[in-house]
C-alpha cells in the first residue's frame, strides 16, 4: 500500500509562491487552510499530492536537491516541433507569472526541456511527458533535467 504524501517548501512569501504554482500546475487553494505564515494547494481532482509553503526567515542559498518538472502534453510521435512549441508556450506563461528562464536544453537538435526558476529562485523544469521518460544521453552531465551544469553541452 502506498503512503499519502505532500511536498512542502520554505518561502519568503508563501502566498506569492502558492499563486505561481497554482497557475503552473492547475492547482487550487486548499479549502479550510488558514495559516498566516503558510499557503497550501491541492489538485482540484484530488489525485495528485498537495503542495504547501511555509514562511521562513532565511533566504534560499543553494541549488534545490529536489524539484518539480512541469510536464506538457507531448504531441504525436515524431512531432518534435509541436512538443517544443508546447514547452515554450508553457515557459512563456510562467515567465509572465514571475518565473525566469535559466537555459533551454536540446537533444538531437530538438528542444528537450527548459530549466527555470520560480519567483523565489527555486529551480524547476518544463518538459513534455515523452521527454521525461527518455533516458539521459551519455554525453550530458547528470542532474536535474540534465542539470544546468550541462548548459554548455546543448
Q: Are residues 87 and 43 in the same domain?
A: no
**Measured distance CA(16)–CA(18) in Å, rounded:** 5
For residue 74, being part of any structural domain is answered with yes
- Report the percent of the chain where pLDDT is more than 90: 64
Asked if residue 23 belongs to a domain, the reply is: yes
**pLDDT tens readout for residues 27-46:** 999 999 999 999 999 999 99
Same domain, 32 and 76: no
Question: Which set of grid coordinates corresponds to residue 7?
Answer: 511536498
Decide if 99 is inside a domain.
yes
Asked if residue 134 and residue 72 are part of one domain, the reply reads yes
d(CA 111, CA 88): 9
pLDDT higher at 1 or 98: 98
Same domain, 135 and 105: yes
pLDDT of residue 107: 87
Three-state secondary-structure class, residue 17: helix
Q: State whether 50 and 77 are in the same domain.
A: no
- Domain identity same for 102 and 129: yes
94/131 same-domain check: yes
Are residues 78 and 42 located together in one domain of the fold?
Answer: no
103: pLDDT strictly greater than 50: yes
Q: Which one, of 54, 53, 1, 63, lies nearest residue 27 by Cα?
A: 53
Distance (Å, rounded) from C-alpha 1 to C-alpha 3? 7
pLDDT at 80: 80
Q: What is the pLDDT of residue 135?
A: 41
Q: Range of 33's domain?
A: 7-55
Residue 116 falls inside a structural domain: yes
Q: What is the CATH number of the domain that holds 111?
A: 3.30.720
Amino acid at each position: 500500500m502506498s503512503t499519502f504524501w505532500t511536498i512542502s517548501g520554505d518561502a519568503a512569501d508563501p502566498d506569492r509562491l502558492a499563486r505561481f504554482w497554482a497557475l503552473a500546475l492547475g492547482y487550487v487553494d486548499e479549502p479550510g487552510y488558514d495559516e498566516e505564515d503558510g499557503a497550501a494547494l491541492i489538485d482540484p481532482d484530488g489525485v495528485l499530492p498537495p503542495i504547501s509553503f511555509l514562511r521562513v526567515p532565511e533566504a534560499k542559498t543553494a541549488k534545490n536537491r529536489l524539484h518539480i518538472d512541469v510536464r506538457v502534453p507531448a504531441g504525436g510521435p515524431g512531432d518534435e516541433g509541436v512538443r517544443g512549441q508546447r514547452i515554450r508556450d508553457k515557459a512563456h506563461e510562467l515567465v509572465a507569472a514571475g518565473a525566469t528562464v535559466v537555459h533551454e536544453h536540446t537533444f538531437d537538435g530538438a528542444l528537450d526541456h527548459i530549466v527555470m526558476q520560480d519567483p523565489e529562485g527555486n529551480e524547476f523544469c518544463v518538459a513534455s511527458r515523452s521527454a521525461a521518460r527518455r533516458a539521459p544521453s551519455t554525453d550530458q552531465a547528470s542532474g536535474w533535467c540534465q542539470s544546468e551544469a550541462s548548459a554548455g553541452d546543448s
